[in-house]
Structure 1
């Protein structure tokens, strides 16, 4: 394979000019650029990424830390991130924490050692240790889904989405509405969605009995078990259930179907996430679409802004959402 020196000789230019074309830096006339690119194409020259990284002090790699790779949300986020970064000539390096807080910390350090140009983190929760570690990294950083002060953030409007869904139940005539959430250490999904539900219930002068509020984790079985506890522990059976994720809602639906509750006549149900599965359960699930690919686009644009323009001005973006009303409510 040809070297830069040989490329320069064949194109009748200096090695510096060839480097400018390869790195897209410095002025090179259009005629000379075309001549060099033609020689590169004819010889099949591929620049050494390691050598290029040493020259530019950039690896063209962005680390992406996910709480799990098993959900559609993660898949859509990554698709959106990759679409923007690939177009800009970047690659992504994925890290899966499997909802392990300590792994989030470990992956931050690992990605720094790998000398990535930036990190995008879809965090499950935010604590002092995580925030301190991020500040110590001194690497361009974007957080998705959880707000971290002083960091570029792309957020979901969890509070208002939950209020809107609760309002839908109320408009349909429901007064006894139950809730399946997750641990409130997850501020976005656990705290803000629950707060939105409770505030909207209060806004409509509707009470919420303790037995109507349950917690699960991010899987279908957990939704099934939470629904079972609500039914078994309630002196007054609710007429509706709002689950903070589609998976929890689908688990709850399975319990209701197995125990002869007709949906939505005897029990209305809704989730959040607009998963593919939500369209095909019976009846189709009412849900909220957070446009996760677009969220991925925004996160990728922000990280490129930080890495290429060195823009350190704090920025927060809150994404839009859409309530999809189907036959389960």
Structure 2
């Protein structure tokens, strides 16, 4: 019966107006306790379920937001989404996740798909930003927020990658390391590939330490890539590195695995540090010194910005840079 009952029939059975039923369903406007009780009783007896599709047509809102992730299985993505969900759940919104699995063409595909699904807004956990993606984002006519990368003419929430990289490199220098290797990622990822490398280089310069190209390796984000990058550095560098800064914790763990297999003692012979904390960073031996970002807070901030755009029609660009925390463990 629940699929056949309409608001008009609820109103007739409860002997109230259609407006009164609507106010009860939406918990808005004045309704006497007696009338509210009659409406709720009829709803319970009939098993009436409001049509969300009809409601969305009236309000022009679906109460659904799309979130595009680079890789759904990573701890980083899950922590960001957890933060978002805290905010969205409180306001009655649902999250529709889209996983690109690090395939760049999927980002544009999902942007268009989510638009066609009439979501109220989109949050993109951005990695590689190119002109094609920027142009696509500029043409989006619904609320949009980026997380992790600065995108022109858009609201975004980012981490302080440059200063975080300087901080971790300075910590290695503080420990007396003078030949510090860097394992980074490709520069198509501006935040991780460019800013973290720049922070590393500037820290060395400020301490009058040489920039040694043979101590720098670039690869993708995989753990095994960190292993191979460390192998490349150890085989080709004319000087033995006494420190390693890896741009991500997975690259650092891969590098440490290679060093352990070659019986290089950590931290006695070489110190290792990274950006991005995880459960693996804590339980690996030796435990990894790293920079921890406020990933949950990034999700919360992005959700708050998007809701202001959706509910308050606030189109002012919000640009937020979050802080970080150095966690010193056994690897240095």
**TM band (smaller chain):** over 0.9
| 1:208 positional shift | 1.9
* Aligned residue in 1 for 2:185: 182
Unaligned 5+ segments in structure 1 are: none
Among 113, 116, 121, the alignment partner of 1:113 is: 116
Among 299, 302, 311, the alignment partner of 2:305 is: 302
Contact kept? 2:248, 2:274, Cα under 8 Å: yes
Aligned ranges 1:228-243 → 2 under 5 Å: 228-243=231-246
Structure 1, 157-166 or 290-299: larger mean CA deviation: 290-299
Q: 1:34 to 1:224 in 2, by over 3 A?
A: farther
Task: State the alpha-carbon separation in 2 of the partners of residues 175 and 64 from structure 1.
Answer: 43
Residue 135 (structure 1) aligned with residue 138 (structure 2): yes
Q: 1:199 to 1:30 in 2, by over 3 A?
A: farther
Figure out how many residues of one structure are paired with residues of the other and give that number: 328
Structure 1, 86-95 or 276-285: larger mean CA deviation: 86-95
Q: 1:290 to 1:49 in 2, by over 3 A?
A: same
Aligned Cα RMSD in Å? 1.5
* Aligned residue in 2 for 1:312: 315
Contact kept? 1:285, 1:328, Cα under 8 Å: yes
Give me the TM-score of the superposition, normalised by structure 2: 0.95
Task: State the alpha-carbon separation in 2 of the partners of residues 43 and 223 from structure 1.
Answer: 61
Contact kept? 2:138, 2:153, Cα under 8 Å: no
Among 16, 28, 31, the alignment partner of 2:30 is: 28
Among 199, 218, 224, the alignment partner of 1:215 is: 218
Contact kept? 1:146, 1:155, Cα under 8 Å: yes
* Aligned residue in 1 for 2:55: 52
Task: State the alpha-carbon separation in 2 of the partners of residues 328 and 30 from structure 1.
Answer: 67
Q: 1:300 to 1:34 in 2, by over 3 A?
A: farther
Contact kept? 1:11, 1:36, Cα under 8 Å: yes
Unaligned 5+ segments in structure 2 are: none
Residue 63 (structure 1) aligned with residue 88 (structure 2): no
* Secondary structure of 2:71's aligned partner: coil
Task: State the alpha-carbon separation in 1 of the partners of residues 37 and 298 from structure 2.
Answer: 37
* Aligned residue in 2 for 1:95: 98
Post-superposition, which runs of at least 4 consecutive aligned residues in structure 1 deviate over 4 A? 32-35
Residue 124 (structure 1) aligned with residue 127 (structure 2): yes
Structure 1, 95-104 or 172-181: larger mean CA deviation: 95-104
Per-residue CA deviations over 1:84-137 (Å, capped at 9, x if unaligned) read: 111211111111111121111111001111111000000112222111111212
Contact kept? 1:216, 1:248, Cα under 8 Å: no
Contact kept? 1:178, 1:208, Cα under 8 Å: no
Among 234, 243, 248, the alignment partner of 1:245 is: 248
Aligned ranges 1:134-283 → 2 under 5 Å: 134-283=137-286
Q: 1:290 to 1:36 in 2, by over 3 A?
A: farther
Task: State the alpha-carbon separation in 1 of the partners of residues 199 and 32 from structure 2.
Answer: 57
| 1:178 positional shift | 0.5
Per-residue CA deviations over 1:124-182 (Å, capped at 9, x if unaligned) read: 12222111111212010000000012211011110110010011011111111000000
